[in-house]
Every structure is written in structure tokens, then in C-alpha cells.
Amino acid sequence: MKKSLRTRLTVYFIALVSLPLLLVGVVANWLTYTQERAYALEIQAEKAELAAERVQNFIDGRKNDLQALIDVYNFSNATFEQQSTLLSTLFAKQTVYEEIILTNGRGKELLYLSRLDVVTSQEFSNRTGADEFEKPKATGEPYFGPVIFNETTSEPYMIISIPSFNLKSGQLANVIIAKFRFKSVWDLMGQESVSESDEVYMTDSNGYVVAHANPSVVLQREQITPPAKNSFTTGLDGSSVALAVKQLKFEDQTFYILAEQPTSIALASAYSAVLLTVVVILLSMLGAGFLGLRASRQITAPIQELATSAQLISAGNLNQTTNVQSEDEIGALAESFNHMAAQLRDLVGSLEQRVADRTKALNASTEVSRRLSTILNQEQLVKEVVEQVQTAFNYYHAHIYLVDEAGDLVMAGGTGEAGQIMLERKHKVLKGRGLVGRAASLNAPVLVEDTEADSNWLPNPLLPETKSEVAVPISLGNEVLGVLDVQHNQVDGISAESSALIQSIANQVAIALKNASSYTEIQVQAKQEALISLIGQKIQNTRSVEGALQTALRELSQALGVQEARIMLNVNELKEKSGSR
């Protein structure tokens, strides 16, 4: 059972209102969601960038503290007492250092400053073989060691080693080994966490958290795999977060500054937009349903009449019209419906006319093909083709070009006075030039439906009314024999269908030209053989062989238009036969 028209109209009203709103809402929400995601990651990236800059400055500051002792105070040339004083002063001022150790150029400890232990000179050891001594010794550059966690307190620390070389000898004089705590970096992370939901922390290359606003996170040795790029992923506590990462490198050591915010907070605005859109769409659907019920009562009758008329027209009654007289959109629809029926009637009539025109064109093409099959003279053939094509299709002008020995296209026949003038002028088109040259080069039709709109079209002063033109190759396979060019004085007067018909005629012209050429060659060969036979008979009946040969040679040259040297072979052969007899 079909649904009532009223029900369907109600559904359509709801759909017409809801679907655009739904589409706009989805697009708007997607754009908002995408922008919010990008903005959230951008905010976290800024936090990570700022934190990374502060950590960079902090660690560089520790390196600069030690480097300043060497560069400013000429550490390598100072006495041991002076070196001890400089290191003790630095150790006292900078509480971030847990230990500062001084070794000589052979790795032996000379001074050991520690905040946790008292190390006597008898406990001094040799650092030879340790990375903090060997690497700065080998490279001459500061060395940054990996993060090490204190076994007792689980607090992370890092070693920085600075080499000091004797300026005169260039030999390694001392190495300053400093171990500093990451406690100060924890404080930097706390400055970047602007709210309880945001977290900024630092990990080493293994993903262990070495600096966090919450010390328990570091002391519990929590670990996370830093992402390759900023993204929404799993955070430190396993929840979904907007996570940004910034890499820091200190020589061979790599650290990561990570800034994260829970996804629910980062995308709160996007979620609110989605909720608002859903509410608006639901309210719109309710309003559309109410309006649809009311409007369906008013338009059911005229719509039903339109439906009946449509059924009659679809059944083939193109004279059917509707009598709806309302002045609203339904009335306009009825008027448009009647207009559409009239257009359908006109379209059916025009289609019938187009079919008739097409049939006429095919018949004309068949007649041209039939006439071509009976012509064996090339000049007559070309003339007949252009006249038949112009007459059969009522074109403005038609002419044929044939390819000469140089590959250029020489006009062989054309219609009207313009064709006669171009023939007298021996009009020629260079290969590759214009429509004709391009058709020959491409071995494919070249159609210009509007010559004024084609910048590559070349006008002919003898044919000023040309508005459309097609050039089709006269070819057998890859061998181009010439080009059939047709012009019309109407824009779009030559269609693609017409071009295909002309191409079929051109293909038959190619066969006819080949047949005419073959026929001419056969005639020439037959005539040559007859003359040679006649000459042979004359030679046999003539006492003066030389005189007969000279006379026959002149006759043969005049009759066939060939060179004497070409005929001489046959003549000599006849002479030998005569002599033998």
C-alpha cells in the first residue's frame, strides 16, 4: 500500500529542512573539531617549546659555569690551590651540583667536592676508562652523560665533564667532572603547568621521566614513549591527551620535553558545538514536521492533479496539460509542467528531423562512395569528390590537397571560384602548418567548430565567410596521401558526427586514389609493352637495324614520356635478339 501524499510531503519537509542543516552542521563541526585539535596541539607545542628553551638554558648554564672557570680564570695554568678555591666557590654558590671532581690529565682525582659524603685524598680514585674522562679527553669538547638515578633516593642526576688543556703544550691538563641534580628542572616544569589538568615534563632517551612538577612521578620511575610528532595519543597516565613533544640534544644525549592536556578539556569547545548542532537539528525537524502537516493539506489536491497529468504524459499523451490556476508556487509548477510538455513535443519533432537529416547525410555519403568507385582518373576523381561533398552536405567550400615528394600539400581540386583561383596559383600548404598541415602530420582529423574562438586557425582571404572547418587525412594505414578540407559558413556547422562521415569519405578517396594510380601504372606498362613489341617487329622487318632502333627510340620516348636511358635496356635486348637472328 502506497503512503499518502500528505505523509510523504511531511517527510519531505522534514528532510528538506533537516538534511541541509545536518550537512552544514557536520561540515561546521568537522571544521571546528579540526581547528580545535590543531589549536590544542599548537598550545601544547608552545608550552613544550618554552619549557625546552628554559631547560636548554639551565643545562647550558651548568656547562657555562664550568667552561667559564677554564676560559676566564686560565684554569690550566693556575696552581692547585687556586683551582681548589675556584671550584669550592662555584660549589658553594651553585647548590644544583651534588659533586664536583677535578682530575689531572691522566685521570687521577685531585679534588672531590660532595654534598652527601666526605671523601678524603686516600679515597681518591682514577677515572681512566670512564666516559666522563675519556670522551672529553678524546674530543676536546664538553661531555654530557646519560641520566642516572640514585639507587637510594631514585633522584635523577647528570654528569657534565669539561676538559682543560695547557695552552702552551696543547696537552690535557685537567678534567672537571660535575654531577648536578634534576631537582631544579622539576621546578621549571612546575612553572609551565598552568593548571592541574596540564602537565609539562621531561624524559630521557629511554622515556623515563626525569623532570616533573610532581616529584613522585620522577621517583616512581614512570616511563612513556615520546611520539614522533604532535598528536592526540595516550598520555602519561594512560588517558587520551593532546600531546606535543620537543626534542633536546646535548652532544650524544637526547631528551624530550612533553606537554599534554586531557582530550576532554582540549576539545571541550568542539564537543559543545556538536551538542548545539544536534539540538538545533532536532528542533528544526520538529518545526518542519508541523509545517509539513499544515502545508500538505493545502497542496495535496493540485499536486495530485499534477501527478495525474505526469502519468498521462509518461504514457505517451504529450498533448496533456494541467488546469491548476493557483497563483503560488504550485501554479508556477503547473505552468512549468505545461511548458515542459510543449518542449517535449518540440524535442520529439526535432529528433525526428535530426534522424531524417542523418539519414540524408548517410545516403549522400553512400552516393559519393558509389561514384568514387567508378572513377579511375585522378584529376576527375578529385574534382568529383569536392563537388559531391559540397553539394551533398551543402557546405560552404571543399578542397583536396595531395602530398608531393617534399612532403608538402599541393592543392589538387577545390569548389567554386576560390578553388579555381587557388588551383591557378598552385596553392600549397607546408607540412605541419594550419589545419591541413596538422591533419597530415597527425594522420587524424582536426576540427574547429568556431574559427573565431581558435587562436591557431589561419584564415584564407579567398574564403572570408568560413566559420567552421575540418581537415581529415586521406590515408591508407600510416601512409598519408593527402587531406580533404571542408569549410562551412556557420558556427558549429560541422559537427563531430559530420567529421566522422567526411573521414569515411576520405578513406574511400584514399582507396580510389590508389586504384587510379594503379590503373595508370597498368595502362603505362601495357602501352610500353605494346610499343616495345611493335618496335621488335619493325626491327625484324627493317634492313637498317640502327635506323630502325633510332626511330623506335624516339617514338617510344615521345609516347611514354620516359628517358631514353631507361628504354635503352629493352632496345639493346631487342638488338641482340635481332643480331642473333
Distance CA 546, CA 524 (A): 26
**The pLDDT value given to residue 581:** 44
Looking at CATH, the fold of the domain delimited by 39-266 is given as Beta-Lactamase (3.30.450)
- In the prediction, which pLDDT does 575 show? 54
Q: What is the pTM of this model?
A: 0.48
With a cut of 60, say whether residue 544 has pLDDT above it: no
CB atoms within 10 A of CB 553: 16
User: How far, CA to CA in Å, does 73 sit from each of 90, 179, 437, 446?
Assistant: 13, 21, 88, 88
**Is-contact 433 427, C-beta < 8 A?**
no
CATH architecture of the domain with range 378-512 = 2-Layer Sandwich (3.30)
Provide the residue ranges of all domains of the chain, joining segments of one domain with +. 39-266, 318-372, 378-512, 521-580
Q: Same CATH fold, 378-512 and 39-266?
A: yes
Work out the percent of the chain whose per-residue pLDDT is above 70: 74
| pLDDT, tens digit (0-9, with 9 covering 90-100), for 271-288 | 888 888 888 878 877 877
In one letter, which amino acid is 409?
A: L
| pLDDT single digits (tens) 365-420 | 666 666 665 666 677 778 888 887 888 778 888 889 888 888 888 888 888 888 88
Which pLDDT does position 301 carry in this prediction? 67
Instruction: Provide the residue count of the chain.
Output: 581
- Burial readout 313-343 (b: 16 or more C-beta within 10 A, e: otherwise): beeeeeebebebeeeeebeebbeebbeebee
| Lowest-pLDDT range of 20-24, 163-167, 414-418, 457-461 | 20-24
